[in-house]
Every structure is written in structure tokens, then in C-alpha cells.
Amino acid sequence: MNSPRLWDIFCAVIDNHGDLGVCWRLARQLAEAGQSVRLWVDDDSALRWMVPQESLARQQGVQVLPWADASDIVKLASLPPADVWIEAFGCTLPETFVAHGVATHTHRPTWINLEYLSAENWVPRMHGLPSPVMSGPAKGWTKHFFYPGFTPDTGGLLRESDLLTRQQAFDRSAWRQKHAPKLASGGLLVSLFCYEPTALHQLLTQLVGTPHHLLVTPGRPLAAVHKALANMRDQPSWSALPYTNQNGFDDMLWACDLNFVRGEDSLVRALWAAQAFIWHIYPQDDNAHHAKLTAFLDWLQAPQSLRHFHRVWNGVEEGQLPDLTPKDLQAWRHCAQAAKARLLTQDGLMQQLMTFAMHST
């Protein structure tokens, strides 16, 4: 049986770095695997720096469409029906789009609810379960939950087919010399991509007087650093980075000795980088992210020092951040390397989605 050829991926942007980043990576990987993809998005502005326009134009097999067009029956009538529908991160397909699909499809598309990433123990039980559509124009149809994850009984993580080849060809020394010429001999190169952690002031204070150099990504991280530094007499060695595309973000993670990442997409990239990292999980009002963080650290087999740093950085507990000692950083790096090795034995998210869609057709 041939795998489906045309995919509709819907993305309602909440955090354009994460939601759109994941959806673009998936679309790009599907296209590189010979599939055709329509990416429907309500705000594609981040693609201007995430995917430079010349690269977007060269990306064969991916068409970026405005979300509003999915409610335009005339435009829908001009498009061929897709074999797969993906609702990314709990978004809901426009009713006009669904009604048009019900009326025109000669066979039902595979309908996938692509969920958020979690290491919690309920994820394998939910992964792949059917979700009957109980109302609306597609009443009687069935969606399926698809959960990315870190274990073989989940949907896996996004991983490009050429990831390891790119890593092997990467010139780490040249990147560090170009982007961090202020890095002192023996110093750590640290990247910062975060929200607004209460422990940021502690980190900056800890870096003062060290040979370490901090690279700060644009947007919320840079604004948070400026705010924290306003109350500091002495400052660490640091510099601001411009917006970069997804490959450039990978380069930064590969080049640095310690990476502070946030959300979902950059966590996965930090795992593939296999350098020491700290994850700033997306905060939730009911503190549900605390259990999610603990579950991830359990899967990671994180040493106690790494768990403690994560809990303070994420505001789970009060106290002082542990010092960035060579012994701890080595242990953190070895932990990340072991996690990457485990993940490489599993099929990636894109491959698993293709297999699932093929057998659901």
C-alpha cells in the first residue's frame, strides 16, 4: 500500500517559536520524504526569520496557506482533497473545511489530533486511541490521538534524516570564534532561550567574574536579561544574538557548553545536541507543569544536581541555583548523551505518523 501523498496540517499559533516551529519541521520532513503538505496557519509571520523566504521558496512539497482560507468554500473547491488531516496541539479544524471534506472526499482522510509532548506515564496509554466525532458535519467519523514522546510506546520525536551528518560536519570551533570572540580561555559558552524565570538574576550573578560568556536570544529572553541587569552593579560577559532560522538555532546548541531552552521544540533540539541543558517548561496556572517536569527528569535519569537546578529555575521550589561546577556539567552532558543514544534507537515522529496514516487508509 502506498503511503498517503497529501497532508493538511493546521496550526493555531500560541507561541510562534514552538507551535509553528514544530509544525514547520514536520511539514519539511514530510516533504523531504516525498509527501505533499499544506500548512494552514493563522499567523505565519515567524516564518520570515525561522525559514528565510528564499529557503521557503525552495522547499518543494510544502504550501503555506492562511487559516482563513479554510473557511472559504470557493478556495477549498479549487484544492484537491488531502489524505491526512492533522490538528496540531489541540486546535480545531474550521467547520467549513470539515463540511467540505465530508461532502467531497471519496474516502475518509486519516484524522490525527497531534498532542503536546510529555513524558508522563499516561501518555503511552492514550497514544493512538480513537476519538469518535460526536457532532458536527463529520459526526460518525473518527480522529486518533497521536502523542509525541520519549519511549518506544509513544509517537517519538521529530528528527531529520540528515541530523547526524550535519552534526558531524559542523565546525564548532569556527562558530564559537565568530559568535563569541569575547569568550575567555577556559570559559563556558552558555546560550539562553527562556521565558522570565525568577532565578534569572541568580544565574547572571553567578556568571559575574567568571570566564564564561552568555549568548542571549532575542525577544522575551533579551527583555528579561535587560530587566535583570538593570538592578545589577556588576555584569557578566554577555552578548545578544539576532533571530535565526532553525538550522542556525541547532548550530548554537551544538556550539555551546550549556543550553537553556524553553517549551517543546527547543527541548527536542537540546536533546539532539547532547550538550548539558536546562529546560524552562511552559508554565501553567494550575502548576500542572510541575508533574510534567518531574516526569521528564525521571525519564532523563537526571542526576540530583540537574534536578535541583531545574526545580529552582522553573520556580517549583525556592532556593539558590547550584553552582555550575565542572563535575556537575560533565554529569549533565553525559546524561544528555545517554538520552540521545536511547532516542536514536526509536523511530522518529514523522516516520511514525507516515506509518500510522498508511495503515489507517
Q: In what order do the strands lie in the sheet with 189-192?
A: 237-240, 213-216, 189-192, 258-262, 276-280
- What is the pLDDT at residue 60? 78
Q: Which three cell numbers stand for residue 333?
A: 552532558
- What is the pLDDT at residue 136? 94
Q: Are residues 152 and 214 in the same domain?
A: no
Q: Which three cell numbers stand for residue 359?
A: 495503515
Q: Are residues 269 and 149 in the same domain?
A: no
Total structural domains within the chain: 2
Q: Are residues 197 and 151 in the same domain?
A: no
- What is the pLDDT at residue 1? 41
Tell me whether residue 235 is in a domain: yes
| CB-CB contact of 299 with 317 (8 Å) | no
Q: Are residues 152 and 297 in the same domain?
A: no
Q: Are residues 140 and 179 in the same domain?
A: no
Q: Are residues 149 and 203 in the same domain?
A: no
Q: Per-block average pLDDT, block size 10, for the chain (361 residues)?
A: 81 85 95 95 92 71 95 96 95 96 92 97 96 95 97 97 97 97 95 96 97 97 97 95 95 98 96 98 85 97 98 95 96 98 97 92 62
Beta strands in 12-124 (DSSP E): 36-41, 62-66, 84-88, 110-114
What's the angle, vertex CA 17, arms to CA 14 and CA 18, rounded to 5?
70
Tell me whether residue 36 is in a domain: yes
Tell me whether residue 291 is in a domain: yes
Q: What does the CA dihedral 188, 193, 195, 200 come to, rounded to 10 degrees?
A: 10
Q: Are residues 169 and 257 in the same domain?
A: yes
Overall pTM > 0.85: yes
Q: Are residues 144 and 192 in the same domain?
A: no
- What is the pLDDT at residue 105? 87
Q: Are residues 144 and 201 in the same domain?
A: no
Q: Collapse the DSSP code of 200 into the 3-class scheme (helix H, G, I; strand E, B; otherwise coil) and give the result.
A: helix
Give DSSP secondary structure letters for 323-334: P--HHHHHHHHH
- Tell me, rounded to whole angstroms, the distance of Cα 76 from its chain centroid: 30
Tell me whether residue 1 is in a domain: no
CATH number at residue 322: 3.40.50.2000
Per the structure, the complete domain to which residue 144 belongs is given by 6-156+346-360
- What is the pLDDT at residue 98? 97
Cα–Cα distance for residue pair 117/147, rounded to 1 Å: 7
Tell me whether residue 142 is in a domain: yes
Q: Collapse the DSSP code of 106 into the 3-class scheme (helix H, G, I; strand E, B; otherwise coil) and give the result.
A: coil
Q: Are residues 131 and 174 in the same domain?
A: no
Q: Are residues 287 and 173 in the same domain?
A: yes
Q: Name the residues annotated as catalytic.
A: 19, 264
Q: Are residues 314 and 183 in the same domain?
A: yes
- What is the pLDDT at residue 58? 67
CATH number at residue 19: 3.40.50
- Mean model confidence pLDDT for the chain: 94
* Residues β-bridged to residue 113: 87, 145
